[in-house]
Structure 1
Amino acid sequence: MALADLQPVERNDAGIALVLGILKQRFGDRFQTGHAIRGQHAHTTTYIPSQLPDGVAFAHSTEEVQEIVRACAEHRVPVIPFGTGTSLEGHVNAPGGGISIDLTQMNRVLAVHAEDLDCTIEPGVTREDLNTHLRDTGLFFPIDPGANASLGGMAATRASGTNAVRYGTMRENVLSLTAVMADGRAVTTAKRARKSSAGYDLTRLLVGSEGTLGVITGLTLKLYGIPQAISGGVCPFPSVDAACNAVIMTIQMGLPVARIELINGLGMRSLNNYSQLGYPETPCLFVEFHGSEAGVKEQAETFGEIVAEFGGGPFRWTNVAEERAKLWKARHDAYWAGLSLRPGCKALSTDVCVPISRLAECINETEEDIARSGLIAPIVGHVGDGNFHVLVLMDPDDPKEIEATEAFVGRLNMRAISMEGTCTGEHGVGQGKIAFLPHELGVGVDIMRSIKQALDPHNIMNPGKVLPAAVT
């Protein structure tokens, strides 16, 4: 994707110059304009070109974020929130320049209410940091997108991951949040109650808004008890169809699986090579169960019976923590393992999500498309909720490969939408998937645009993301 293909945002050089002066005077060394640090705040982990902000402000509080946003609002300068920079669709790029607000130093766990199973944190706390803080309480936060992302960023992109089939996504696990809006006002969207019917659901409006409506500066999250016992294992299958049908029966039978991940044959080859494993190089399910000692044993045995019905197996499972950690470390290294299939290449990581009844069909058609296109692209998926990822390996200096990759991604997105699915299950829209949103949501995009206009009339909040420009 060339810069020319991205959503254009007009630069306001005069306003940017004024804001640079204001923020440098106010924040001193916590406001940086060097090229290297600006580059670090525009990087993406995909091939979308970097677009650098003009300055980076390191905020320490909601009040400081308000100061930054008010200065930018007064002079019509873009604001781009930054967590850890692990997003995949260009979310942290600055197409019109502007100010990146780095929230990594807002990293305090403010309160843990163990009796209520919730906590209140600042947005720079990462998921690993939070679980380290919670380890002596008997509680944990389950949403695990793989990367050690900031929880503010995870809320902004409505992230999920391997545990979503049991614990849900960030949408279900954010009770309340505080955000600084485009006019500099700070809003707290709810109290700590587990449910409310008081007014519009502002929490859900901001979760998944990708920084286009406000900057998240605080979160209250649901917590869960650490399971008494955990078991997990890997099970090979003769085909993607067989694996997906086993998943469907597992879900339909109400088996409380915590994680159920599909890796196709090429993906298993990459995991074996990268992590020195010895698994069969056929489609495999990585599975985990949470509960009591007796419960997880019963769940694993029942799953083994389901597997056998669809010609899979043997299903080898363990409740030894070290062995399970090795298994999930390999799964989380799938991105780097995929890169090893073609040393020196770049990768485009994309995702779609379909109803689980259409999952096998969608993956089979996608594998056929990959083969016809001459691409190398392993597939992994959070198949318990119909979500899968494709890692397309390509030479970014070869225009023909880029063209073939972009054409493939376009077909993949439209395939998922045609199956009553979505162009992104968890990566978000960012810059990379803007073109597909109207196909998926139709007039819903106009409604979103109306909300954006009402809350951010001067389009300073992470412009050039999520919403395509209105056709005039």
Structure 2
Amino acid sequence: MVVAFEQELSVHSRTNTGLVIDVLEQQFGDRCQRSAAIRQQHAHTTTWLPNQPPDAVVFAKSTEEVADIVRICATHRVPIIPFGTGSSLEGHVNAPEGGISIDLSGMDRIVEVNAEDLDCRVEAGVTRKQLNSYLRDTGLFFPIDPGADASLGGMAATRASGTNAVRYGTMRDVVMGLTVVMPSGEIVRTGGRARKSSAGYDLTRLMIGSEGTLGVITELQLRLNGIPEAISGGVCPFPNIEAACNAVIMTIQCGIPVARIELLDELQIRACNTYSKMSLPETPTLFLEFHGTEASAREQSELFSAIAEDLGGGPFVWETEAEKRTKLWTARHDAYWAAFTLRPGAKGVSTDVCVPISKLAECVEETRRDISDNGLVAPIVGHVGDGNFHVLILVDENTPREIAQAEAFIERLNWRAIQMGGTCTGEHGIGQGKAKYMMKEHGNGLDVMRAIKQSLDPDNIMNPGKIMPVS
């Protein structure tokens, strides 16, 4: 039934798409584009999933304009694909049924900052770096850091997190309210500025992680944090992955309020040394950061150092000087690009899973054996403080055997995480790439998700082909 419905939509929308584009060109002029280059830029470009461009791209400037675009598309049942910066990794911005891509990057106003209440309101196209630059003189900062300078609307849509998640949480924890354009074109505001509420269904959390399948996020009310008085950070080498993972587990179980704790395996360290001109020992390494007062940051660093020493790691050398810490974390954020030095000319396929912290060492070790047994070049990095790690498989796209090996490895990795009580994705989201794991992870819960989708979007025009398996 679902497949037949989607096939019907495809035929119907193709019939009307030309008409819709004509109307949008009349209303938006040069901000409605149908050139091949722009359309391809607004489809998936970050990994090996095929590029499936929309039929046109409209550059919106306000919530009202988004609502107008959605109403026009809804009238003719033409698909809509929201677009922020295009940094997602699982085909979220692809248009498998064609349709209209709504580019929200021009909606980049910081509407208000309420410093006394530690919150702000922004349009969906504002990026995390833009917001933190704006906040610099207020003594506040926005803590969610996925690495890429993603748009905040896209980060909410994919329930992003990143290096600070172990202390500050994910987008689920910092979004207080949203403005959303629903599939009918109606504008809805969810949540508010109060720190808590027990009034009705939590529509804000429903929209976070919905990947544009239930509506288009156009504004966000965000929780902010005070910039810590002191920050200390550094690196700590370990003799093996198991020791590094056990250090993470003990750090969390001891209640040390670590702000960031990142794992890089020896292959990734080798790449970072080459790319970022560093000289770290090529062994499994933890990158850490502690926030607090000068005394508490120092105490946290010393406590971790003792844990590392007990497990055969160290020495843990930490820095309080901002410039040195920035260089260190820049190398961590450049790990994706650094990995390509391991195999120039290869294509990178990035995937992530998340498991309970007690299963972290076991899952990472099994994954490393899997990589070795199959002769893959695949460095591991992870936001391991919450059990989340990433694998970047480097493959020759022109060698079918390598493609098949990588696909099989990703499938085994996802099943492994789910069987350990984890999830097929800690932060990349589902999109197209991980839809086939949804039934295994959620069981009958997937039927509830489908019911919500069909209730809010009966014509299936909102980012079709994402999250829900098509068969």
Smaller-chain TM-score bracket: over 0.9
Give the Å deviation of 1:43. Answer: 3.2
Match of 2:3 in 1: none
Residue 282 of structure 1 corresponds to which residue in structure 2?
283
Structure 1 residues 71-90: Cα deviation after superposition (integer angstroms, max 9, x where no partner): 11000100000000000000
Aligned to 2:418: 417
Name the structure 2 match of 1:454: 455
**Following TM superposition, by how much is the alpha carbon of 1:129 offset from its aligned partner in structure 2, in angstroms?**
0.2
Question: What residue number does 2:28 align with?
Answer: 27
> TM-score, normalised on structure 2?
0.98
8 A contact 1:44–1:89 mirrored in 2? no
Aligned-pair CA distance for 1:10: 2.3
Residue 283 (structure 1) shift: 0.5
Shift of 1:344: 0.5
How many residues end up aligned between the 2 structures? 464
3-state SS of 1:64 partner: helix
- Tell me which residue corresponds to 2:372: 371
Distance (Å, rounded) in 2 between the aligned partners of 1:102 and 1:252: 43
AA in 2 matched with 1:335: Y
What is the match of residue 134 of structure 1? 135
CA distance in 1: counterparts of 2:259 and 2:431, whole angstroms: 29
Q: Look up the match of 2:10.
A: 10
Consecutive unaligned residues in structure 2, runs of 5 or more: 1-5
Partner-residue secondary structure (3-state), 1:107: coil
Distance 2:439 2:14 in 1: 31
Work out whether residues 44 and 92 of structure 2, in 8 Å CA contact, stay in contact via their aligned partners in 1. no
Structure 1 residue 398 displacement after superposition:
1.2
Task: Measure the CA separation in 2 of the matches of 1:321 and 1:36.
Answer: 41
**What corresponds to 2:161 in structure 1?**
160
Are the counterparts in 2 of residues 211 and 462 from structure 1 also a CA contact under 8 Å?
yes
Q: Distance in 1 between matches of 2:339 and 2:217?
A: 33
Q: How far does the alpha carbon of each residue in 1:186-230 deviate from its partner, in whole angstroms, 9 at most, with x for none?
A: 110112101101000000000000000000000000000000110
1:187 partnered with 2:188: yes
Superposed, 1:201-220 pairs within 5 Å as 201-220=202-221
- CA distances 1:266-312 after superposition (whole Å, capped 9, x unpaired): 11111111111111111000000001111111111111011111110
Q: How far, CA to CA, are the matches of 1:18 and 1:167 in structure 2?
A: 47
1:294 paired with 2:304, answer: no
Report the Cα distance in structure 1 between the residues aligned to 2:304 and 2:71, rounded to whole angstroms.
55
- Trace 1:37-436 onto structure 2 (pairs within 5 A): 37-436=38-437
Distance 2:162 2:332 in 1: 11
Give the secondary structure class of the aligned counterpart of 2:138.
coil
Partners of 2:345 and 2:246 in 1: how far apart? 36
Indicate if the aligned counterparts of 1:44 and 1:92 stay in contact, CA closer than 8 A.
no
Q: Report the Cα distance in structure 1 between the residues aligned to 2:277 and 2:18, rounded to whole angstroms.
A: 53
Q: C-alpha distance in 1, partners of 2:202/2:326?
A: 38
Q: Is the 8 A contact 2:233 2:290 kept in 1?
A: yes
Q: Which amino acid aligns with 1:53?
A: P
Which residue pairs with 1:4 in the alignment?
Answer: none
For the Cα contact (< 8 Å) 2:71–2:185, is it kept in 1?
yes
Of residues 187-196 and 154-163 in structure 1, the stretch that sits farther from structure 2 once superposed is 187-196
- Alpha-carbon distance in 2 for matches of 1:13, 1:295: 61
CA distance in 2, matches of 1:458, 1:28: 27
User: Does the CA contact (< 8 Å) of 2:105 and 2:124 recur in 1?
Assistant: yes
Name the CA distance, whole Å, in 2 between partners of 1:401 and 1:10.
Answer: 33
Rounded Cα–Cα distance in structure 2 between residues aligned with 1:137 and 1:400: 54
**Is the contact made by 1:234 and 1:316 (CA closer than 8 Å) also made in structure 2?**
yes
For 1:225 and 1:15, locate their aligned partners in 2 and report how far apart those are by CA, in whole Å. 51
Task: Tell me which amino acid in the other structure corresponds to 1:111.
Answer: E
Cα distance in 1 between the residues matched to 2:188 and 2:312: 54
Task: Calculate the aligned-residue CA RMSD, in Å.
Answer: 0.9
- State the match for 1:3 in structure 2: none
SS of 1:218 mapped into structure 2? strand
The 4+ residue runs of structure 1 with deviation greater than 6 A are none
Q: TM-score, normalised by structure 1?
A: 0.97
Alignment partners' CA distance in 1, 2:78 and 2:399? 36
| Aligned equivalents of 2:374, 2:447: Cα separation in 1 | 35
Long gaps (5+) in structure 1 = 1-6
Amino acid at match of 2:10: E
> Which has the higher mean CA deviation after the structures are superposed, 8-17 or 174-183?
8-17
Contact 1:79-1:462 within 8 A present in 2 as well: yes
